Amino acid sequence: MTQDQAKELVGRRAAEQVEDGMRVGLGTGSTATMFIKALGERVKAGLKIRCVASSDASHRLGQSLGMEMLSLKELPELDVYIDGADEVGPRLALIKGGGGALLREKIVTSAAAKFLVVVDSSKVVPVLGRFPLPVEVIKMALPVVERRLSQLGLRPKLRQHADGSVYLTDENNYILDCACGSIPDPERTAAEIRSVVGVVEHGLFLKMADTALVAGDDGVSELKA
Ligand code: 5RP
C-alpha cells in the first residue's frame, strides 16, 4: 500500500465514524483532506452535520463539498476534531504543524470533546523529534525568539516557500521549524518553548488526542491514549 492509499483508507474510516447531528472539527493537511472529501460524500448522501475547520484551506474545501461550515463563534463546542499528524509518539503525544496550521488546530481541538488522529503507519514513532518541531512566532519577535530557541539547542529555521518567500500562517505569523532531534521529555520541551515571549504556539500536542487510527499494510488499527 502506498502512503497516499493509506491516507485515503484512514480518511474514509474516520469519515465513517461521524454520526448524524454531530458538530465536527475538520483538520488540515493531506490526510485531513482525504477525510474531508470522504465526509463530503456522506454529506451529499444526506448526513447532517455542522463543521468548523482549522484552516482557511479546509474551510474552503468543506464549502466546495456542500458542507455547513461555521466559525467557532457560531459553534464554540464540537463533538469531535479529526486531523492528521506529523508524528505520533508514546501516549499519543503528537507533533503537528507541518502544514502550518498548528495554532488553529490546537484551538479547534480544544473546543472538541474528542480528538481523533488519522495517520499512515510511517507517522508512528517510539520517540518524537525526527520531524522538525514547528513553532509559530509573532513577526516582530522573530529575532528574539530565534535567538532564545537556539540557546535552548532547538536549532530553529524560518519556514520559507520553495521560491524563497517567507511562509505566513493563516494568522499572519511566522513559523520556526526546530530540528531539535529526539524529544525524550515532550512536556519539558513544551514548557521551555512556551516560556519564550513572542512564541504564539508550538506543535507539541500533549494529552490532547484520545484515539489514533493508523493505516498500514494490514489495514487500519486503533491506538488509545
Ligand atoms: C497541518 C498538520 C497536519 O496534520 C500534518 O502536517 C500532517 O499532514 P499530512 O496529513 O499532509 O501528512 O499538522 O498543520
Residue 186 belongs to domain with CATH number: 3.30.70.260
Give yes or no: residues 92 and 192 share one domain. no
Q: Is any atom of ligand 1 closer than 6 Å to the C-beta of 97?
A: yes
pLDDT of residue 79: 98
Give yes or no: residues 57 and 144 share one domain. no
Give yes or no: residues 21 and 85 share one domain. yes
Give yes or no: residues 215 and 191 share one domain. no
Give yes or no: residues 149 and 120 share one domain. no
Looking at this protein, which amino acid is placed at residue 135? V
Total number of domains constituting the chain: 2
- Rounded (10°) CA dihedral 89, 94, 97, 98: 20
pLDDT of residue 137: 98
Q: What is the C-alpha separation between 70 and 83, in angstroms, rounded?
A: 17
Domain that holds residue 97: 3-124+206-224
Give yes or no: residues 220 and 161 share one domain. no
How many angstroms from the chain centroid is the CA of residue 8? 17
pLDDT of residue 136: 98
**How would you class 218 by CB atoms within 10 Å of its CB: exposed for 0-12, middle for 13-18, buried for 19 or more?**
exposed
Give yes or no: residues 14 and 108 share one domain. yes
Q: What is the C-alpha separation between 91 and 194, in angstroms, rounded?
A: 21
Closest C-alpha to ligand 1, atom 5: 85
C-alpha triplet 202, 50, 67: angle, nearest 5°? 100
pLDDT of residue 9: 97
Give yes or no: residues 45 and 103 share one domain. yes
175, 100 contact by CB (below 8 A)? yes
79, 23 contact by CB (below 8 A)? yes
* All three cell numbers of 103: 495554532
Per-residue tens of pLDDT for the chain, all 225 residues: 999 999 999 999 999 999 999 999 999 999 999 999 999 999 999 999 999 999 999 999 999 999 999 999 999 999 999 999 999 999 999 999 999 999 999 999 999 999 999 999 999 999 999 999 999 999 999 999 999 999 999 999 999 999 999 999 999 999 999 999 999 999 999 999 999 999 999 999 999 999 999 999 999 999 998
Residue 152 CA to ligand 1 center (angstroms) comes to 25
Q: Is any atom of ligand 1 closer than 6 Å to the C-beta of 134?
A: no
Residue 108 belongs to domain with CATH number: 3.40.50.1360
Closest C-alpha to ligand 1, atom 6: 98
CA distances (Å), origin 103, targets 39, 135, 203 = 23, 9, 8
Containing 4, the helix (H) or strand (E) segment is helix 3-16
Give yes or no: residues 137 and 92 share one domain. no
Residue-wise DSSP of 149-210:
HHHTT--EEE-B-TTSPBP--TTS-EEEEE----BS-HHHHHHHHHTSTTEEEESEE-S---
pLDDT of residue 131: 97
pLDDT of residue 172: 97
Give yes or no: residues 174 and 75 share one domain. no
Give yes or no: residues 217 and 190 share one domain. no
Of 9, 31, 124, 201, the residue with max ligand 1 atoms within 8 A of its CB, to mutate for a pocket test, comes to 31
pLDDT of residue 85: 98
The residues annotated with a catalytic role in the active site are 105
Length of the chain: 225
Q: Is any atom of ligand 1 closer than 6 Å to the C-beta of 129?
A: no
Give yes or no: residues 163 and 210 share one domain. no
